[in-house]
Amino acid sequence: MIIKKLCLATLLAFSISVTAQQKDNKQLFTIDSEPVYAKEFLRVFHKNASIVNDENKKDVKNYLELFINYKLKVKEAEEKGYDKNPSFVKEYNKYREQLAEPFLKDTKVTDQLVQEAYDRTVNEVNASHILILVKPDASPADTLKAYNKLIKARKEILSGKSFALVAKKYSEDPSAKENGGDLGYFSAFNMVYPFENAVYNLKEEEISMPFKTKFGYHIAKANKYRKSRGEVEVAHIMIKNELPDAETKINEIYKQIKNGEDFGFLAQKHSDDKFSSKNQGKLPKFGSGRMLEEFENVAFSLENNGEYSAPFQTKYGWHIVKLVKKYPTPSFEKLKDFLKSKIERSDRAQIVGNTVLNRLKKEYKIVNNFETVANYKNWKERKDNFKTILEINDKKIREDVYYKYLYKTRQKSNKASFDKFLNKQIATYFKDNLHLTNEDFASTIKEYKEGLLLFDLLQKQIWDKSEKDTLGLQKYFANHQDKYQWNDRADVIIATSTEEAKLKKVRKALKKNQDLSKLREEFNKDKNSVILFKEGVFETTEGVLPKGMKMKKGVSKVMKEGQNQYVVIFVKDVLKAGPKELKEVRGQVISDYQGYIENEWVNDLRNKHEIIINQDTLNEIINQEKNK
């Protein structure tokens, strides 16, 4: 049986399960008599089926084989003790702490924050700021100095001086020297929450008082509000600024587009943006603040799908942009779950009150022995003779835990510091036991734990081995040479134009001279009539060479290509189809070799363990899925 290599995302998807199984939940299979239940398999199967395109992974029987392989790998990782490694324990505990934190937040407050975030998503603000850097542990004197400096800057602005000039004078944001503190337009989650909050509470043209973020102290000005433009999807053609004939070349491409040539065809042939040119110039959709402002403004100015801009320049190059589709901001109902998840992972979560803690204080049996606390100054001299200072249900917490907390936080022992300690211990107890009280949390933390385990296991068992096993890699490459073959290639100079007559002159010139810089100089003097040149080695299947072109040395005839374009090609050399060298495809060979090693390893695991499938349960699942 051939098992396809699984990426970490798939491993994580596999590991969704439930901790507590219902009594009537049927066993689907066992590994060495350890049961795996149908309920767990179906949860994983349904989640994975919704996020993958591979039909094999949507077939119950095929997916069961992958799931068994996954369970075998988890078992192997645990048997090897990977879950006991200090680095694993540290990372797992850190993630568990982060994951549990949102469960201590009040949902009502979260709902208010969701509404606030949506209101700010549909209304963008253009703002400027001045920053004075202050370290988190700065002295009161340094903090006051920064505050007073901003008060002085604010007074200068209020007296009539330009915000930009004052920003260049005072601001310690490195970009201020260039942009005068201008941050452009932004909306919810584009800035740290204290900054976003301060700006959105200003009226247009209003300047804030100094306020603090993790970066230091700021004053900000809300320049202008506007309705959100949503997101936009565009395609573009870019010619790099450093090319000597960049503007000439972009204008020729623009001329060809206006004459009816296909935008995607030209992007694939001529754009210097290698990432988007492969996809006919298409970029992922974006909103305000994600691209250069001048690029965004042109993109959002286009109204109709298929409409394209005139050439324009940014610091990266010359561009032509075509509108693919606009995406207005979704309704609140469609966006609220997404916003909630972002809030729970952002600094907004920190402002949610102590409602949950107050509820837990009523639910838990808490015994407070604060009045029995001994002298904090002499706690180390008492060695191990410590009393219980706090009880939370069945958990007892000794005095020394409280004393160490005071020492670490540099607090004195008093009622206020003990109340903080009490809140911390309640929260810790709640999080430590959350997997017993919350099924969603239990599933998610197990997902992360198993995914982390398998990542470490595959790193050592597969990925590191394939990188270091030079002889094994060479042997695999030699045994599978037929997979690594070049198609027919040609080393060429390509000249294209919409003017057939001019290209015939280029053809004559190519027969005498193949110096590309001289050819460009000779034929592109007239900026209104430009020849586009391209040089390199290309495969016949790559899409750069004309279809059906005869592969022979010399200068070709002038050929028509596309709707309104002519091409002539000088073939310097013809490179016939043949085997690739290992150094030319090393990355691909390593990936294939990893798949081979993994398949062999999984087969060994299957031979090592006894796997028994409950065929009746499997048939029930198959019939259930067919009838959906």
Per-residue model confidence as pLDDT tens digits over 95-105: 998 898 878 87
Q: How confident is the model at residue 447 (pLDDT cuts 50, 70, 90)?
A: confident
Give the best-scoring range by mean pLDDT among 286-295, 350-359, 592-601: 592-601
Q: What is the pLDDT of residue 531?
A: 86
pLDDT at 53 over 70: no
What tokens appear for 599 in the block? 């398949």
Q: What is the pLDDT of residue 56?
A: 62
What tokens appear for 82 in the block? 């990977």
Alpha-carbon distance 565 to 577, whole Å?
Answer: 29
Alpha-carbon distance 435 to 440, whole Å?
Answer: 8
Across 468-472, 523-527, 597-601, least confident range: 523-527
CA distances from 628 to 46, 73, 85, 622 (A): 12, 31, 44, 10
Q: What is the pLDDT of residue 10?
A: 40
Q: How confident is the model at residue 366 (pLDDT cuts 50, 70, 90)?
A: very high
The string of pLDDT tens digits covering residues 394-443 is 999 998 899 889 889 888 888 888 888 999 999 999 999 999 988 888 87
Of the candidates 119, 118, 126, the residue with the CA atom closest to the CA atom of residue 186 = 126
Would you mind telling me the total number of residues written for the chain in this entry?
628
CB 109 within 8 A of CB 181: no
List, in sequence order, every residue forming a beta bridge with 323; answer none if it has no partner: 234
pLDDT at 5 over 50: no
pLDDT at 351 over 70: no
Q: What is the pLDDT of residue 39?
A: 84
581 exposure class (CB count in 10 Å sphere: 0-12, 13-18, 19+): exposed
The string of pLDDT tens digits covering residues 329-345 is 999 999 999 998 888 78
Q: How confident is the model at residue 57 (pLDDT cuts 50, 70, 90)?
A: low
Q: What is the pLDDT of residue 373?
A: 64
Q: What is the pLDDT of residue 352?
A: 63
Q: What is the pLDDT of residue 158?
A: 96
CB 387 within 8 A of CB 399: yes
Q: How confident is the model at residue 243 (pLDDT cuts 50, 70, 90)?
A: confident
- How confident is the model over 561-568, as a mean pLDDT? 85
Q: How confident is the model at residue 380 (pLDDT cuts 50, 70, 90)?
A: low
Decide: helix, strand or coil at residue 288.
coil
Q: What is the pLDDT of residue 8?
A: 39
Q: What is the pLDDT of residue 346?
A: 83
Q: What is the pLDDT of residue 523?
A: 84
Q: What is the pLDDT of residue 459?
A: 87
Q: How confident is the model at residue 20 (pLDDT cuts 50, 70, 90)?
A: very low
Alpha-carbon distance 252 to 256, whole Å?
Answer: 6
The string of pLDDT tens digits covering residues 199-223 is 999 999 999 999 999 999 999 999 9
CB 101 within 8 A of CB 349: yes
- How confident is the model over 523-531, as a mean pLDDT? 76
- Beta-carbon contacts of residue 295 (< 8 Å; ≥ 6 apart): 314, 319, 321
CB atoms within 10 A of CB 110: 18
Alpha-carbon distance 204 to 221, whole Å?
Answer: 8
What tokens appear for 181 in the block? 């503190």
Q: How confident is the model at residue 6 (pLDDT cuts 50, 70, 90)?
A: very low
Backbone angles phi, psi at 58, to 5 degrees: -100, -5
Alpha-carbon distance 297 to 341, whole Å?
Answer: 29
Alpha-carbon distance 215 to 207, whole Å?
Answer: 19
- How confident is the model over 95-124, as a mean pLDDT? 88
Q: How confident is the model at residue 556 (pLDDT cuts 50, 70, 90)?
A: confident
What is the percent of the chain with per-residue pLDDT over 90, rounded to a whole number?
A: 50
Q: What is the pLDDT of residue 17?
A: 37
Average pLDDT score over the chain: 87
Q: How confident is the model at residue 162 (pLDDT cuts 50, 70, 90)?
A: very high
The DSSP 8-state label assigned to residue 58 in this structure reads: G
